[in-house]
Chains A and B, each alone.
Chain A
């Protein structure tokens, strides 16, 4: 069910998804529909940054969208600032590590990291190089639950030590 960040007043959820496609079919046609009402935060370290204007016009109007750096996004994971469900999509392992507050433990959905030279198969749509795998392993060791889930209703596959 993603990261269950539950405040006393509202059962809002913050779901963090690692997916280098950022806004795409699975996110808009599936995850946002099931999490609605919700907003979406795109978190990236890429240079140049993602085209915020383009992402805005391909996201249905009812979902607020923000494109942020991990540093700017980190405080927004707090339950105090989540009025409704929030989907946080980040496009790289390094951005994910910077995004998560220190000592944080919860769930991260592994959505997709595309194949490229040097990366190897981990899950259907998730390919990692050795460094990325090591970083995710250390996150898992520190208590972060890493789950591969393409669609909202998928059962999911838990990250195993590899």
Chain B
């Protein structure tokens, strides 16, 4: 359905509707080759394995993408604001288990470039960026499918005694593929897209631009509603409404509101959450690893995993090649060159998929167990059993806690900061989320190596993560209300309302719209249908002049 909408929108833009269309001169290039290539490079890096595991949490987010595009085009503050606006539409975005709903990075980079270098308003650019994200999703599918080739190459080459091929198969070749699939299209789109849009819009009927603006103005409401619907219960609904009311009625700075939201979330989270859960069975015996590997080797394993866990992410083995590549320095140190080493590496090429940061615990534990396998104390099958037994549960905790809750909560804070403090918003977000991700990953890896399963059992049974999750959900609910009131209210056309009413009515309508969308989503209405309906409503609002944006 989104593709149908995209096709319709694209067709509308392609078809000349007046005789003057034939006379339109070639589109001027509004972004230089150098700037376009730099935007393409940022987009590539957001998809690549070059950022120590934080690319997906930083450069991939439209807030950061918009800021970078703004920096490249010499308009950093505007870029950050546009990126924040686009990011509002994707607040409900997350991709558990690698199931990507849309490529929000493409929407962020291309949408900001179009808004800064073409006649499009930010909301009109967002209306085009959303379907562009769907094209990015197709690229992702292609990459996930093609990368199967690399893991099969790796398997053959490892068994032939060429373990160094792991670097080529997990890093070099897949990153070249990502480069070709990401850098080239967006560079060309940035170079020619704004100019092409400018000339196309000049040749199209005058209602197209207001319609696109109207559509884009509604998209942030969808993002907010999706994020709220995922958290929804009556308690969270009350918090959301409270956040909205305070932000709408009081002129307090957004930073103060965020601070109050944090304190309230902390106070309102019962300390008993998670405490009732204890492991009924005995804890696994504490593993005391036989330390045979040099510290430098263990660090290489950790860094390999940090950078390249998703180096050749693919549907067949998911992170399997990433695990084998990460552990390969250790296995090379434990086994002399030959069939034992080859088989040890090949064992780790099996299917594996988990949340990479908390899941680093599994890599650390695997490392410790491999030392024991080599010493003859542990069977190789035990390592495989540990990996397959823990990968799902740790993904459940990691995906829910990190990308399902922590990242949206941090982004809500950053979006607010961007509005009030400009570039400090994206800058603090990038630094803060990177430190958290690296801290979680490093802690999990080294704890897994030193203490094994016992410490994990104790930590999970303590319920700490459940209390953190509950607190973050409360904070996010409050901030969703704040952000709706301050950043995403419908801007009604003041000429159509008595003096002073357009603002409050717009805010009230935004609140009702978000609650209505939450109700639809919770009732099981599918996103593509809701989006299609919103496209029609938004276009109508834009064309009739109901919105100030248009």
Tell me the A residues contacting B by CB distance below 8 Å: 1, 21-30, 33-34, 36-37, 51-61, 112, 114-116, 121, 124-125, 127, 150-151, 153-155
Contact = CB atoms under 8 A, between A and B. Distances in A.
A86 to B, nearest CB: 15
Interface string B372-403: 00000000000000000101111111111001
A158 to B, nearest CB: 15
Contact of B395 (A24, A56, A61): A24
A37 B233 CA distance: 8
Contacts of B403: 29
Nearest to B2: A155
Contact of A112 (B97, B274, B354, B398): B97
Given A25-B400, A114-B351, A155-B528, 14 more contacts: A1-B524, A24-B395, A25-B355, A26-B96, A27-B396, A29-B404, A30-B99, A33-B230, A53-B279, A53-B281, A54-B460, A57-B277, A58-B396, A153-B526
Interface string B152-167: 0000000000000000
A83 B204 CA distance: 56
B399 A25 contact: yes
Given A26-B96, A61-B273, A61-B274, A33 B231 contact: yes
A61 B99 contact: no
Interface in B338-389: 350-351, 353-355, 389
B97 A26 contact: yes
Nearest to B282: A53
Interface string B523-534: 010111000000
Those 4 A-B pairs whose CB atoms lie nearest each other, nearest first: A25-B399, A25-B96, A24-B392, A150-B99
B96 A29 contact: yes
A53 B456 CA distance: 13
Contacts of B287: none
A63 to B, nearest CB: 11
Contacts of A153: 101, 526-527
B399 A28 contact: yes
Contacts of A54: 279, 389, 393, 457, 460
Given A53-B280, A150-B99, A151-B99, A60 B315 contact: no
B276 interface: yes
B316 A155 contact: no
A59 B315 CA distance: 25
Contacts of A154: 99, 101
A72 to B, nearest CB: 18
Contact of B315 (A26, A53, A56, A125): A125
A115 B527 CA distance: 30
B492 interface: no
Contact of A150 (B97, B230, B398, B400): B97
A61 B277 contact: yes
Nearest to B461: A57
Given A25-B398, A26-B97, A54-B279, A155 B393 contact: no
B183 interface: no
Contacts of A53: 279-281
A115 B280 contact: no
Contacts of B396: 23-25, 27-29, 58-59
27 contacts: A21-B353, A24-B392, A24-B393, A25-B96, A25-B404, A26-B96, A26-B99, A27-B396, A29-B403, A33-B230, A33-B231, A34-B522, A37-B233, A57-B277, A57-B457, A57-B460, A57-B463, A58-B396, A60-B466, A60-B469, A112-B97, A115-B316, A115-B351, A121-B316, A125-B315, A151-B96, A151-B99
A40 B476 CA distance: 25
A28 B97 contact: no
A22 B353 CA distance: 13
A27 B400 CA distance: 10
B94 interface: yes
Contacts of A121: 315-316
Contacts of A56: 277, 279
A21 B391 contact: yes
Contacts of B232: 36
A29 B94 contact: yes
Contacts of B522: 34
Contacts of B399: 24-26, 28-29
Given A60-B400, A155-B1, A25 B395 contact: yes
A116 B97 CA distance: 18
Contacts of A115: 315-317, 351
B285 to A, nearest CB: 15
Given A53-B279, A61-B277, A115-B316, A155 B526 contact: yes
A121 B314 CA distance: 12
Nearest to B527: A153
B43 to A, nearest CB: 23
Contacts of A33: 230-231, 404
Interface string B394-425: 11111110011000000000000000000000
Contacts of A29: 94, 96, 396, 399-400, 403-404
Contacts of A58: 393-394, 396-397, 460
Interface string B251-289: 000000000000000000000011011011100000000
B414 to A, nearest CB: 21
Interface string B197-236: 0000000000000000000000000000000011111000
Which of B144, B355, B397, B404 has its CB near the most chain A CB atoms (within 10 A)? B397
Nearest to A113: B351
A86 B281 CA distance: 26
A21 to B, nearest CB: 4
Contacts of A59: 396
B315 A24 contact: no
A51 B521 CA distance: 33
Contacts of B230: 33-34
Which of A37, A54, A112 has its CB near the most chain B CB atoms (within 10 A)? A54
Contacts of B279: 53-54, 56-57
Which of B351, B399, B469, B528 has its CB near the most chain A CB atoms (within 10 A)? B351
A114 B396 CA distance: 17
A153 B523 CA distance: 12
Nearest to A117: B350
Contacts of B280: 52-53
Contacts of B400: 25, 28-29, 60
A37 B351 CA distance: 32
